[in-house]
Amino acid sequence: MKNNKRREGFSSGLAAFFATLGSAVGLGNIWKFPYVVGENGGAAFLLVYFACIILVGLPVMVSEFYIGRKTRKNIMGAVKELTTKKRWRSIGIIGILAAYFIMFFYTGVAGWVYSYVFKILRGDFNGATAQSVQQQFTNTTAGPVAPIVWQIIVLTVVSVILIGGVKKGIERITKTLMPVLFILIIVCDIRALTLPGVKESFSFLFKPDFSHLTSQGILIAMGLAFFKLSLGMGTMVTYGSYFTEEDNMFGTAAKVAISDTIVSLLVGIAVFSAVFSFNMEASSGPGLLFMTIPLVFSKIPFGKFLLIAFFVLASIAATTATISMFEVLIAYYTEQKGASRKKAVILNAIVIAFIGAFSTLSVGETSLLSGVTIFGKGIFDIFDFLSSNILLPVGGLLMALLVGYIAPKEDIKRELSNNGKLKIANIIDFYYFVLRYISPILLVIVFLSSVGVLEKIIKLITG
Ligand code: PFF
pLDDT, one tens digit per residue, over 222-249 is: 989 999 999 999 999 999 998 999 999 9
Average pLDDT over residues 276-298: 85
Contact 136/124 with Cβ under 8 angstroms?
yes
E-strand stretches of 371-448: 373-374, 377-378
In a domain, 20, yes or no: yes
102 CA distance to ligand 1 middle (Å): 8
Atom of ligand 1 nearest to the CA of 317: 5
Amino acid, single-letter form, for residue 132 = S
Nearest CA to ligand 1 atom 7: 230
Phi/psi of residue 417, nearest 5 degrees = -95, 15
> Cis omega before residue 144 (within 30°)?
yes
CA distance 336 to 73: 10
DSSP 43-58: HHHHHHHHHHIIIIIH
| pLDDT value at residue 430 | 96
d(C-alpha 110, C-alpha 17), whole Å? 23
Ligand 1 center to 106 CA (angstroms) = 9
- For residues 83-101, give the mean pLDDT: 96
Determine, yes or no, domain membership for 4.
no
DSSP string, 388-451: IIIIHHHHHHHHHHIIIIIS-HHHHHHHHTTTTTS--HHHHHHHHHIIIIIHHHHHHHHHHHHT
Distance 457 CA to ligand 1 centre (A): 34
Q: In what helix (H) or strand (E) does residue 198 lie, and over which residues does it extend?
A: helix 198-206
Kindly state whether residue 192 falls inside one of the protein's structural domains: yes
Number of structural domains the chain divides into = 1
Region 196-207 average pLDDT: 92
H helices present in 53-197, as ranges = 58-71, 75-82, 90-122, 130-142, 145-163, 166-192
CA distance 303 to 301: 5
Ligand 1 midpoint to CA 26 (Å): 6
**Are the C-beta atoms of residues 340 and 330 closer than 8 Å to each other?**
no
What is the whole-number distance in angstroms between the Cα of residue 28 and the centre of ligand 1?
7
pLDDT tens-digit series, residues 327-382: 999 999 999 999 998 999 999 999 999 999 999 998 876 777 777 777 778 888 99
Question: Among the atoms of ligand 1, which is closest to the Cα of residue 322?
Answer: 8
Pocket lining for ligand 1, CB < 6 angstroms: 23-24, 26-29, 102, 227-228, 230, 233, 235, 321, 324-325
In this predicted structure, what is the pLDDT of residue 166? Answer: 58
Closest atom, ligand 1, to C-alpha of 227: 9
Distance 296 CA to ligand 1 centre (A): 26
319 C-alpha to center of ligand 1: Å? 10
Closest approach atom of ligand 1 to CA 324:
10
pLDDT at 1: 38
Judged by average pLDDT, the poorest of 53-57, 317-321, 351-355 is 317-321
Site to substitute for ligand 1 among 235, 289, 316, most atoms within 8 A of C-beta: 235
Q: How far is Cα of residue 370 from the mean position of the Cα atoms in its chain? A: 25
- Alpha carbons 439 and 119: distance in angstroms, whole number: 44
Q: What is the dihedral of CA 372, 378, 384, 385, to 10 degrees?
A: -120
Annotate 12-37 with b (16+ C-beta within 10 A) or e (fewer).
ebebbbbbbbbbbbbbbbbbbbbbbb
What is the Cα–Cα distance from 130 to 268, expressed in whole angstroms?
Answer: 18
Return the percentage of the chain with pLDDT > 90, whole number: 59
Confidence at residue 322, expressed as pLDDT on a 0 to 100 scale: 95
Which of 227, 256, 315 gets mutated to test ligand 1 (max ligand atoms within 8 A of its CB)? 227
Residue 313 CA, ligand 1 centroid: distance in Å: 16
Is 8 within a domain? no
Q: What's the pLDDT at 440?
A: 96
Q: What is the pLDDT of residues 137-182, one digit of tens each?
A: 998 988 789 999 999 999 999 999 888 765 666 677 777 777 888 8
Q: Which of 153, 36, 143 is nearest to 358 (CA)?
A: 143
The CATH number covering residue 276 comes to 1.20.1730
Q: At 303, is the pLDDT very low, low, confident or very high (cuts 50, 70, 90)? A: confident
Res. 15 pLDDT band, cuts 50 70 90: confident
Best residue among 96, 325, 332 to mutate for probing ligand 1, ranked by most atoms within 8 Å of CB: 325
Please say if the pLDDT value at position 79 is more than 60: yes
What range does the domain containing 280 cover?
13-462
- For ligand 1, atom 11, the nearest C-alpha belongs to 230
For residue 377, the SS3 value is strand
Within-domain flag for 137: yes
Strand partners, 374: 377
Say how far apart CA 440 and CA 396 lie, in whole Å: 9
5 inside domain:
no
350 part of a folded domain: yes
Whole-angstrom Cα distance, residue 393 to residue 395?
Answer: 5
Q: Which ligand 1 atom minimizes the distance to the CA of 26?
A: 5
CA 103 to ligand 1 centroid distance, Å? 10
Measured between alpha carbons, how far is 371 from 380 in angstroms, rounded to an integer?
A: 12
Pocket test of ligand 1: the residue of 23, 27, 320 to mutate, having most ligand atoms within 8 Å of its CB, is 23
Residue from 263, 204, 252 nearest 228 by CA: 263
Residue pair 301/93 in contact (Cβ under 8 Å)? The answer is no
* CA-CA-CA-CA dihedral for 397, 400, 402, 404, to nearest 10: -140
Return the pLDDT at 420.
93
> What share of residues in the chain are helix, strand, coil (percent, to 5)?
80, 0, 20
323 C-alpha to ligand 1 centroid (Å): 10
Q: By alpha-carbon position, which residue is closest to atom 4 of ligand 1?
A: 28
- The residue whose CA has the least distance to atom 9 of ligand 1 is 230
Of 54 and 283, the structure prediction assigns the larger pLDDT to: 54
Does some domain include residue 284? Answer: yes
Classify residue 216 by its DSSP letter: H
Q: For the chain, give the mean pLDDT.
A: 89
The residue among 326, 358, 21 whose CA lies nearest residue 155 is 326
CA nearest ligand 1 atom 10, residue: 230
pLDDT at 84 (0 to 100): 93
pLDDT in the model for residue 414: 96
Separation of alpha carbons 70 and 91, rounded Å: 17
**Residue of 56, 51, 92, 90 lying closest to 71 (CA atoms):** 92
